[in-house]
């Protein structure tokens, strides 16, 4: 009887070891697959980051904040470029507060109950900027030149404009 108990214990132990081995092997294979997937994902993300960095570098080509020559132009004129960039944008945004139906810069009248407003501005260099405008339904873009007069005043000149057709 004692030998049968040892035999059953031995068989049970062997079965337990086999179960542990198979289970561990399955877990290791699963972890290896997960690691390979994670490594592939990391490579894909690295490629995406490189692509985004290239895109950002291209976008900085036409941005006053990253155009050293344009910033030097302002500094040579005696302006603080850190304060000047928000000043230029604010002066253009101030034109959104206008009386009557016609915006001082936008050459289109609103075709809705809303007023034409300038939404966003991108300063290209020390002389040019682009802006978009909308009345909530219709929208378009402007190409403006600007000039600093006497340090505190800005003169905006509308060069080109476009309103997108409704679909």
Per residue in 39-60, pLDDT (tens digit) is 999 999 999 999 999 988 888 7
Q: Within 10 A of 13 (CB to CB), how many other CB atoms are there? A: 10
pLDDT band, very low/low/confident/very high, at 131 (cuts 50, 70, 90): very high
pLDDT at 37 over 90: yes
Percent of the chain residues past pLDDT 90, beyond the cut:
49
Which pLDDT value is given to residue 4? 85
Per residue in 92-119, pLDDT (tens digit) is 999 999 888 888 999 988 888 889 999 9
Q: What is the mean pLDDT of the chain?
A: 90
How far CA 158 is from CA of 44, 49, 128, 139, 143, in Å, comes to: 44, 38, 10, 16, 6
Burial of 155 (0-12, 13-18, 19+ CB in 10 A): exposed
DSSP summary character for residue 162: E
Pick 4 or 121 by higher pLDDT. Answer: 121
Which pLDDT value is given to residue 90? 94
Which pLDDT value is given to residue 33? 94
């Amino acid at each position: 009887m004692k030998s049968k108990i040892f035999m059953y214990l031995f068989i049970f132990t062997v079965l337990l070891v086999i179960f542990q081995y198979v289970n561990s092997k399955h877990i290791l294979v699963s972890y290896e697959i997960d690691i390979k997937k994670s490594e592939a994902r990391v490579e894909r993300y690295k490629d995406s980051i490189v692509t985004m960095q290239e895109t950002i570098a291209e976008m900085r080509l036409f941005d006053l904040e990253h155009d050293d020559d344009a910033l030097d132009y302002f500094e040579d004129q005696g302006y603080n470029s850190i304060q000047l960039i928000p000043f230029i944008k604010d002066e253009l945004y101030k034109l959104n507060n206008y009386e009557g139906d016609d915006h001082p810069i936008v050459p289109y009248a609103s075709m809705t109950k809303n007023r034409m407003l300038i939404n966003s501005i991108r300063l290209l260099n020390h002389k040019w900027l682009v802006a978009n405008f909308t009345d909530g339904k219709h929208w378009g873009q402007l190409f403006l030149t600007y000039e600093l007069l006497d340090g505190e005043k800005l003169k905006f000149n509308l060069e080109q404009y476009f309103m997108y057709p409704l679909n």
